[in-house]
Structure 1
Amino acid sequence: MTSNLFALIDRMLHISNIEEEIRRGQEGFDPWVKIRLVLDKVNSSATRFYIPSRNISIDESMIGMKNRCVYIQFMPNKRHARFGIKKFEVCDSNGYVVHVRLYAGKDFDIHHDEGQAFGVVKELMTVSQLLNKGYHLHTDNFYTKLAAAQNNADRHSESEF
């Protein structure tokens, strides 16, 4: 494909309906409306067609970019991409991504009484349909909170989330 043809396709391709978009600051605004259809389709397909291995993990990752966008995050401890779009992922031990949630800043964050880390784990495990099914969840120290451990201990006698 020539670069001119790619540029022409890129100029004409639009995933979302511009007329249905809700403007920033209005009730019901979705910061990821332009890619929501594709993201939801990928997430639902992964949930429907893939059964993850017993060991799963939740962590954050970056899609590296430096363009001017309000959703660009700066994470100084990430070596490969310090600037970019932050995403939370549920992965299995084979390296397959089961579910992705894009982060758009604290205004659109998951609000939970127990804090952001607990809210992210709870929401990702629920929407990926892995909660209370005997999976072993591995997390780093950001997601390892007392509230999550107590919630888990209340539900099971084993260490399964």
Structure 2
Amino acid sequence: MRAFIGIALIMGIVRLPGINDYWDTCHKPISQTWFREHFERDRFKLLLKFLHFANNDGMPAQDSQDYDPLYKNKPVIDYFVHVFKRHFHPSQNITIDESMVSFRGRTPHLRQYMPQKRHARFGVKLWCLCDTKTGYTHTFEVYKEVRQGDRSEEGFIYNLVMSDAFDEAG
């Protein structure tokens, strides 16, 4: 699993048009021997196909009030938030920062378009609570499309600051 996760992370750095291109031996300019040495292509694709973090049987329907577009990834997000909070306590000076994670997948409730961002115009927007001295992210929340009934008089940023996600800032 470490090799699988390592390859998935490196695929985010070394960008090629398709998954099969990482194991391609025919095209010398884009040939990546490191991937072939550490993992078989078919095994990687099989693990990628069946990798799940949540039980799909408990997932609410899209038209229900309990629907969460992050349901399948929630255990991983919660784990990272827990680890970030455990390993660092921010100083007195903190800020809420908007960050964009590049993503072109099929998640209409999460995908945002921000033309002012140069490196990642399409992606998933995160609201991060960061330490101003070190830039360390203490916690974060994924921005989800606001439903009509979820709007409040105070606004989104007020609700974010007052939410449970940011209450343990230190």
The answer to whether TM tops 0.5 is yes
Instruction: Give 1:109 deviation, angstroms.
Output: 9.5
Paired positions, count: 129
Structure 1 residue 13 corresponds to structure 2 residue 13? no
Cα deviation 1:2-31 (Å, max 9, x = unaligned): 322211111121111011111111131111
Instruction: Give 1:80 deviation, angstroms.
Output: 0.9
Greater relative contact order (Cα 8 A, min sep 6): structure 1 or 2? 1
Cα deviation 1:63-89 (Å, max 9, x = unaligned): 112233212111111111111111111
Contact 1:103–1:109 (Cα < 8 Å) also in 2 = no
Structure 2: which amino acid aligns with 1:69?
T
Structure 1 stretches of 4+ with a deviation exceeding 3 A read 108-112
Look up the match of 1:95. 135
CA 101–53 in structure 1, closer or farther in 2 if over 3 Å, else same: same
Could you say what the CA RMSD is over the residues aligned between the two structures, in angstroms? Answer: 2.1
- Of 106-115 and 96-105, the range deviating more from structure 2: 106-115
Higher Cα Rg: structure 1 or 2? 2
Contact 1:65–1:83 (Cα < 8 Å) also in 2 = yes
TM-score, structure 1 normalization: 0.71
TM-score, structure 2 normalization: 0.68
Instruction: Give 1:117 deviation, angstroms.
Output: 2.1
Look up the match of 2:9. none
Instruction: Give 1:110 deviation, angstroms.
Output: 6.8
CA distance in structure 1 between the aligned counterparts of 2:143 and 2:120, rounded to whole angstroms: 15
CA distance in structure 2 between the aligned counterparts of 1:95 and 1:4, rounded to whole angstroms: 39
CA distance in structure 2 between the aligned counterparts of 1:28 and 1:64, rounded to whole angstroms: 27
Choose from 34, 47, 54 the match for 2:72: 34
Structure 2: which amino acid aligns with 1:77?
Q
Instruction: Give 1:61 deviation, angstroms.
Output: 0.9
CA 113–61 in structure 1, closer or farther in 2 if over 3 Å, else same: same
Structure 1 residue 57 corresponds to structure 2 residue 95? yes
Gaps of 5+ in 1: 134-161
